[in-house]
A and B are shown apart, each in its own frame.
Chain A
Amino acid sequence: SQTIHQWPATLVQPVGSPLSLECTVEGTSNPNLYWYRQAAGRGLQLLFYSVGIGQISSEVPQNLSASRPQDRQFILSSKKLLLSDSGFYLCAWVGHPNTEAFFGQGTRLTVV
C-alpha cells in the first residue's frame, strides 16, 4: 500500500536560519507531489507541485523553494526564514491513474 512520510513533525527555527523539510512516498511510482501551507485558522495554500524529477512549478512568489531529487522525494527549503513562514506545511501526492490526493501528517513550523 502507498504511504507518505513527512518530517519533522514540529520545528522551531530562528528568523534568518535555513529550512529543509522532507517528504517521501512509498508504494507508488512517478506520483505528482505537492507542498501546501496552512496558516493558523486558514485554508490550504498550494506552494509547489511537481510532476517528475527536477520538475517544479511554483504557485506563489515567496521565500521558499522546492526540489525533487528523486522520484518519490520532495523537499521544501529556505535559505533564510522569515516570521511569516510560520505555519503548518503539508506534503501530498496524487498517483496514476488519477486518484485522490493523499496528505502527510504535516510539519508545524514556528519561526521565532
Chain B
Amino acid sequence: GENVEQHPSTLSVQEGDSAVIKCTYSDSASNYFPWYKQELGKGPQLIIDIRSNVGEKKDQRIAVTLNKTAKHFSLHITETQPEDSAVYFCAASKGFNKFYFGSGTKLNVKP
C-alpha cells in the first residue's frame, strides 16, 4: 500500500513567521492529497487539499504545493498565529477509497 512520510515531527515558530511541513508518498497512482489539522482531544479536520492535476492551491494564509514527479507535497502557513498551534497531518489517497496519513507535525506558534 501507500507509504506517506512527514517532516518535521515538531515545529516551533514565532508568531508572524511562516511554517512549512513536507510530505512524500510512494504510490505514483495517488491523486488526492489533503491536509488535516487536529486540535487536542478532537478528530482531524480538513484545512486544504490538492488534486494531482494541480501544482499549487492557496486559501488565505494556507497554501499547498504538489510535485508529482518527485512525489512530494508541502503545506505552507504564512503569518502564523497562536491559534495555528495544533498537529497537522498530510494524507494521500487514490480514488478517495483509502486515505493514508503521515505521522503528523506538532506545530507550536509562540506569541
Contacts and interface: CB of A to CB of B under 8 A. Distances in A.
Q: Answer yes or no: do A and B interact.
A: yes
B32 to A, nearest CB: 8
Interface residues of A, number: 25
Contacts of B95: 98
Interface string B36-76: 10000111111001000000000000000000000000000
A106 B43 CA distance: 6
Contacts, number: 60
Contacts of A34: 98-99
Interface stretch (A14-22, A41-49, A65-73): A41-49
A101 interface: yes
A81 interface: no
Given A43-B101, A46-B100, A49-B97, A105 B42 contact: yes
B46 A100 contact: yes
11 contacts: A42-B103, A42-B104, A43-B101, A43-B102, A45-B101, A59-B98, A94-B99, A100-B46, A100-B49, A102-B46, A104-B43
Interface of A: 6, 32, 34, 36, 42-46, 49, 51, 59, 90, 92, 94, 98-106, 108
Interface of B: 1, 6, 32, 34, 36, 41-46, 49, 89, 91, 93, 95-104
Given A34-B98, A46-B98, A106-B42, 17 more contacts: A32-B96, A32-B97, A43-B6, A43-B89, A43-B103, A44-B89, A44-B91, A46-B101, A90-B43, A94-B96, A94-B99, A99-B96, A100-B46, A101-B93, A103-B45, A105-B42, A106-B43
